[in-house]
Amino acid sequence: MTADLRWDGQTVIVTGAGQGLGRAYALFFGSRGANVVVNDLGAALTGVGADGEVADGVVKEIKAGGGSAVASYDSVQNGEKIVQTAIDRFGRIDVVINNAGILRDKSFRNMKDEDWYAVLGVHLDGAYKVTRAAWPFFRKQRYGRLINTSSATGLFGNFGQVNYGAAKMALIGFTKALAKEGQKYDILCNVVAPMAASRMTATVMTQRSSDQFDPTAVVPLVAVLTHRSAPDTGGIFEAGAGHFAKLRWQRSRGVILRPDDSYTAGAVLAKWDAVGDFSQSDIPDGPASMMAALEQGLQHDRNPP
């Protein structure tokens, strides 16, 4: 699928590229002509500690394959340093893949402030800081490709991952707004919700699913979305084990209460089935579509079929 796609002369930053998904992305871009900034703090899964060898190992692998790469050991929370490494070493920046991540899984009852802020700090603030530093370069050259990494937990929720879910859903709003700001400058921004065997999923995957969910299976989607010919922006995509799909919102037709219903809680409750009835739904693509749906509902109310 990605056999013919190349990034010759382009610089790609991959955060959290020392292992797991980030490593798979970095090795791929390194084999396709890109100059790769292999960023990894080398932290434990909980975000504590640091180990420069994690990034170094991937840089070595890329170079051994004839590719071009530099290690960056900064935390994504110092995103400007990672972008500076790209500029100092390669003179430009074309693609940013915000992938670094940690987990502090705990039930909400047991979650401490530090677990909340650590997870938000790496996933959300980290993506913000790297993107904030890269954006002026994207704007100036009127070109950029950005991937932010969400998760099924961000989309659907998961027990014990309130912090992680909040960060991962926030990244969707972040990406969708950036996609609107970037479009006229050919800066395309998309969200990937991956599923892959890594230390993050080690406790929930069996050996069989681990083999099936090799991180390299997510690479083709990231490749398509970061290529010059990328076909989409503002999208949310799932990838894992050879499955590729796009997600979108759906709005039920809902109900419109007449003023004589007094907009009371009782009136809403009486129509609750209709509020959640998706048999006549639409696929909203922006705030304006809500006004259109409202207008349509009022028309229907004025002139019942």
d(CA 161, CA 169): 12
C-alpha angle with apex 285: 281 to 287, nearest 5 degrees?
100
The amino acid at residue 25 is: Y
Distances (CA, A) of 95 to 44, 54, 146, 198, 265: 26, 21, 6, 23, 49
Q: 100-129: which residues touch ligand NAD (CB under 6 A)?
A: 100-102, 122, 126
Q: 142-201: which residues touch ligand NAD (CB under 6 A)?
A: 149, 151, 194-196, 198-201
164 is catalytic: yes
Point out the residue whose Cβ comes nearest to ligand NAD. 20
Q: Is 19 among the residues that bind ligand NAD (CB under 6 A)?
A: yes
Q: Is 219 among the residues that bind ligand NAD (CB under 6 A)?
A: no
Segment interacting with ligand NAD (CB under 6 A) among 75-83, 110-118, 129-137, 175-183: 75-83
Residues contacting 13, CB < 8 A, separation 6+: 36, 37, 39, 72, 82, 83, 86, 93, 95, 96, 97, 130, 134
Q: Is 20 among the residues that bind ligand NAD (CB under 6 A)?
A: yes
Segment interacting with ligand NAD (CB under 6 A) among 18-26, 228-236, 246-254, 291-299: 18-26
Q: Considering 25, 73, 143, 164, which one is annotated as catalytic?
A: 164
Residues contacting 81, CB < 8 A, separation 6+: 72, 74
The amino acid at residue 181 is: E
Residue choice 15, 85, 131, 161 for contact with ligand NAD (CB under 6 A): 15
Using CB under 6 A as the binding criterion, the count of chain residues that bind ligand NAD stands at 33
Indicate the Cα dihedral angle 280, 286, 289, 291, nearest 10°: 130
Residue choice 36, 37, 54, 62 for contact with ligand NAD (CB under 6 A): 54
Tokens of 186: 């050919």
How near is the Cβ of 22 to ligand NAD at its closest, in Å?
Answer: 6
Residues interacting with ligand NAD, by CB under 6 A?
15-16, 18-22, 39-43, 45, 47, 54, 75-77, 99-102, 122, 126, 149, 151, 194-196, 198-201
* Residues with catalytic roles: 164
